[in-house]
Chain A
């Protein structure tokens, strides 16, 4: 079952602007991850944040996690046209089965 809600569902920005996507989840987690999917392709892992972490950076990506609110955000700074894709959050449960439950995704369009 899908437990994640993401907003916005779609986001359109100009190149150079920042893009922020939010994700909420319902159950206890071991970690939360963000993935990117180009149209008609598989997913690529971007970043993982553990349940005991609050913020993490990787290049132009910044992820925050608020376990009290069961929410996370992904910030892409200085966006590029090549960032155009769908972005999904995924949670790994605290039972650590390896299964990931994906959010509904945010479709990002970066206009050149």
Chain B
């Protein structure tokens, strides 16, 4: 199966700092990865599509300067929450389409971000 690793699993930071979250495809290459945000007891909200070697595509209402996405290699995408504020506290999850069945997504374990 396809494995996606997400790191860190939990981060607590002070308001105003930046936090980087990594998403790696461990045993396959992913030219595309997806970043989601999930509020407690809510569904996943697609934030952006990360494209290897080019700019990310952001969903409507998502601030691209706030949530910086870099997809510099075929196995790594990063999401940086810049100048984090308490309202950015959330559960962030990445996914990548698997080999072959491209519509099936393989998810990282998620990152719980708490901004104090």
Contact = CB atoms under 8 A, between A and B. Distances in A.
B103 A41 contact: no
Interface stretch (A12-20, A57-65, A73-81, A103-111): A103-111
Contacts of A85: none
Nearest to B41: A107
Contact of A42 (B102, B104, B109): B109
A43 interface: yes
A99 B46 contact: yes
A21 interface: no
On chain A, which size bracket covers the interface? 20 to 34
B101 A101 contact: no
A4 B43 CA distance: 10
**Secondary structure of the B side of the interface?**
strand
Contacts of A92: 103
Nearest to B91: A40
Contact of B43 (A41, A44, A99, A105): A105
A45 B91 CA distance: 19
A3 to B, nearest CB: 10
A88 B109 contact: no
Contacts of B108: 42
Given A88-B44, A99-B49, A102-B44, A1 B60 contact: yes
Contacts of B105: 35, 43, 45, 90, 100
A48 to B, nearest CB: 6
Contact of B107 (A44, A48, A103, A104): A44
A67 interface: no
Interface string A29-43: 011010100001111
Given A99-B46, A99-B49, A45 B104 contact: yes
B43 A102 contact: yes
Contact of B112 (A40, A90, A99, A105): A40
A98 interface: yes
B106 A101 contact: no
A2 B103 contact: no
7 contacts: A4-B43, A42-B110, A45-B105, A48-B103, A100-B34, A102-B46, A107-B41
